[in-house]
A and B are shown apart, each in its own frame.
Chain A
Amino acid sequence: MLAYVLRRIAMMVPSIAGIIMITFILTRVLPGDPALMITGEQALPEFVDKVREQYGFNQPLLVQLWEYLKQLARGDLGFAWHTGHAVASDFVSRFPATIELTLVSMVIALIVAIPLGIVAASRQNSIFDHFARVLSFIGSSVPIFWLGLLLIGLFYSKLGWLPAPMGRISDNINPPTHITGLYVLDSLLSWDMVALKDSLRHLLLPALCLSMGTMAIVTKMIRASMLEVIRQDFMRTARAKGLSERAVIYKHGLINALIPTLTVIGLQFGALLGGAVITETIFVWPGIGNYVTESILSADYAPIQAMTLISAVLYGCINLIVELLYGVLDPRVRYE
């Protein structure tokens, strides 16, 4: 088991090396002169050249790559000039916002998707099944930017039920004491009901928006794998024991149907943790996705490269965790 984990981690090394190379080259190839972005359009050419030299942008690509690798080897992710902070400290301050958004959107998605998928499968072609199919169709095809604007338009502009889509908490409310960085959790831990209520109100729309895609795909997966499980012989055995249909489905069916769905949930989770770029931008959510967007718009190489690298590592780790979870759910899985 431990050997398996170590081997899997070792296997991540080549893919991460590849990702480092590709992001490095892609950022350099993209149009936009970082020196000009730093100095501003109106700067004197001599000053621009000086900045170019200072950041090493005038060096040959291979030299720049070598410098970058040396810097990574020291554990330094670089400096984000557009924020004026080290990338690592930017990441630390922004990552909790993304984790919070991702977790809440996953929870919303799973709370809806798992029961809906089960009901859809156990009552195939019923009204629930049609509803599930329509929902997963809409969820997977509606563009997030459109849905986000629609939600804002309805709940903020029209009805006024929710605060302006600006960040995680209103300006006039103090964020809760920093414990984990997740506002909802922190305000619960420090029993700050004002902050809790306000941060939940800010979280609701972006989380809902972000959950749609996951909800759609998980509903589909649960429905499909449940339909397969329902026809299995052991389900008939359970019925023959005299179990109620509900017990048969929830006790014997659900775990078996969750096994294939776990992959999808893990992949979604990993992808969202890498930053939900569109959702975070629409809702001005101060997370990783927003940070990456800002970095790209300012041609700020270091944070783009660093965030891509971190996303890749996170993604790999989550995949590994999913594989280990397989072993927890399914006793037939062995790690060799």
Chain B
Amino acid sequence: MTKLLEIDHLSIEFASPTGPIQVVSSISLDLEPGQTHGIVGESGSGKSVTSLSIMRLLPKDQARVVEGDIRLQGQSLLGMSESQMQKVRGNRIAFIFQEPMTALNPVFKIGRQVREAIRQHSKKSKRAAQKEAIALLSEVGISSPEQIVNVYPHQLSGGMRQRVMIAMAIASNPEILIADEPTTALDVTIQAQILDLMKKLQKERGMAMILITHDLGVVAEVCDVVSVMYAGQIVEQGDVKTLFREPKHPYTVGLLNSIPQFSGKEKRLQAISGQVPHPAEYPAGCRIAARCPSRMDMCDNIEPTLYELDHGHRCKCHLYRGDENVTYS
């Protein structure tokens, strides 16, 4: 069976004055219909770059895919012409961005911007599109959509604008919705509402979703499968229950320990020491070694592979290598 979306050993380089820098290294992930895949990581771990590369929205003059492929139902997105790709964007794969405050065009009314999303991939009249825009806005929980179509983005709150963004994203009934930190810029109370809305819409419309976030709480609540990214690589991947119950990678363990717990005794939060290295300064061995509490001698020089544990649970750490699959590189 072909997967809905398949990212296959994808590596992306960015141009820099000192030569190309690899910011995403050999990432693989699969997405099944209706599934929600979370990508978690600190800022600079390459999660946004990965998501933008699926839509081929990275700046062409700066970013280059150097290895791997992205396939939508078996068809390579990277091999598509620009006009074929335009038929995918917004139509089969839709995107919700992090910053609702700046993601809408300030000089056009909401109605026009939603209509545009509708009419781009269907031959509807302006009037029909306007009607549908109002229906979509009400579907995303906007209470007086007839009025909202006639206002400008700056007249709406962040949460309202993110609802508008969601309405535009689902306008053409996409198979996949990619949401890049959709709630990060919002108030906590609004965050929960937006997540609930996205979950509801996903269920009703049977969309698959890729949710990019740095918030493990969000992942636990929404996702089926999760990939933990660090320094441009996936360090652990598996279904949410397994990963939260039995985190294998020291980095994932560290992430989980840094979440405040409300049950049990008061404990000091454990922070992961150090910082994500700059892509130009990735070490030869394991990229987390310098920050890892379980560091071994080999970690500095030998890069671990993504070891298969069980049921699709993978972990990129020497702690889990079987003796037979050590690779010296």
Tell whether, in the assembled complex, residue B120 and residue A240 are in contact, meaning their CB atoms are under 8 Å apart: no
Given the contacts A236-B57, A331-B154, A332-B154, A241 and B103 also touching, CB distance less than 8 Å: no
Contacts of A244 in B (CB 8 A): 82-83, 86
List residues 14-67 of chain B with CB under 8 A from any CB of chain A. Answer: 55, 57, 61
Tell whether, in the assembled complex, residue A256 and residue B107 are in contact, meaning their CB atoms are under 8 Å apart: yes
List residues 120-176 of chain B with CB under 8 A from any CB of chain A. Answer: 120-121, 152, 154, 165, 168
Q: Which of B82, B95, B104, B121 contacts A234 (CB 8 A)?
A: B104
* B89 interfacial contact with A, CB 8 Å: yes
In angstroms, how far is the closest chain A Cβ from the Cβ of B261? 35
Q: Which of B55, B103, B152 contacts A331 (CB 8 A)?
A: B152
* A239 interfacial contact with B, CB 8 Å: yes
A243 and B119 CA atoms in complex are apart in Å by 10
* A46 interfacial contact with B, CB 8 Å: no
Given the contacts A256-B107, A332-B106, A237 and B154 also touching, CB distance less than 8 Å: no
* A238 interfacial contact with B, CB 8 Å: yes
Tell whether, in the assembled complex, residue A255 and residue B107 are in contact, meaning their CB atoms are under 8 Å apart: yes
* A242 interfacial contact with B, CB 8 Å: yes
Tell whether, in the assembled complex, residue B89 and residue A237 are in contact, meaning their CB atoms are under 8 Å apart: no
Tell whether, in the assembled complex, residue A242 and residue B107 are in contact, meaning their CB atoms are under 8 Å apart: no
* A233 interfacial contact with B, CB 8 Å: yes
Question: Chain A interface (Cβ within 8 Å of chain B)?
Answer: 124, 232-234, 236-245, 252, 255-256, 259, 329-332
* B94 interfacial contact with A, CB 8 Å: yes
In angstroms, how far is the closest chain A Cβ from the Cβ of B89? 4
A256 and B55 CA atoms in complex are apart in Å by 25
Contacts of B8 in A (CB 8 A): none
Q: Which 3 A-B pairs have the closest CB atoms?
A: A242-B90, A242-B89, A233-B102
Contacts of A241 in B (CB 8 A): 89-90, 116-117, 120, 168
Tell whether, in the assembled complex, residue B120 and residue A234 are in contact, meaning their CB atoms are under 8 Å apart: no
Contacts of B168 in A (CB 8 A): 237, 241
Tell whether, in the assembled complex, residue A242 and residue B91 are in contact, meaning their CB atoms are under 8 Å apart: yes
Q: Which of A124, A237, A243, A329 contacts B103 (CB 8 A)?
A: A237
In angstroms, how far is the closest chain B Cβ from the Cβ of A298? 51
* B97 interfacial contact with A, CB 8 Å: yes
* B4 interfacial contact with A, CB 8 Å: no
Q: Which of B87, B102, B108, B165 contacts A242 (CB 8 A)?
A: B87
In angstroms, how far is the closest chain A Cβ from the Cβ of B154? 5
Contacts of A233 in B (CB 8 A): 97, 99, 102-103
Given the contacts A331-B152, A332-B154, A239 and B105 also touching, CB distance less than 8 Å: no
Given the contacts A242-B89, A242-B91, A244-B86, A236 and B117 also touching, CB distance less than 8 Å: no
Instruction: Using CB atoms, name the residue of chain B closest to A329.
Output: B107
* B88 interfacial contact with A, CB 8 Å: yes
Contacts of A332 in B (CB 8 A): 106, 152, 154
Tell whether, in the assembled complex, residue B165 and residue A237 are in contact, meaning their CB atoms are under 8 Å apart: yes
A137 and B30 CA atoms in complex are apart in Å by 53
Q: Mark B259-293, 1 if CB is under 8 A from A, else 0.
A: 00000000000000000000000000000000000
Instruction: Using CB atoms, name the residue of chain A closest to B151.
Output: A331
A256 and B117 CA atoms in complex are apart in Å by 19
A255 and B89 CA atoms in complex are apart in Å by 24
- Given A241-B89, A241-B116, 4 other A-B residues pairs in contact with their CB atoms under 8 A: A234-B105, A237-B104, A243-B120, A252-B108
A-B contact pairs, 25 of them (CB 8 A): A232-B102, A233-B97, A234-B102, A234-B106, A236-B103, A237-B97, A237-B105, A237-B165, A238-B105, A239-B57, A239-B89, A240-B55, A240-B57, A240-B90, A240-B94, A241-B120, A241-B168, A243-B86, A244-B82, A244-B83, A255-B107, A330-B107, A331-B107, A331-B152, A331-B154
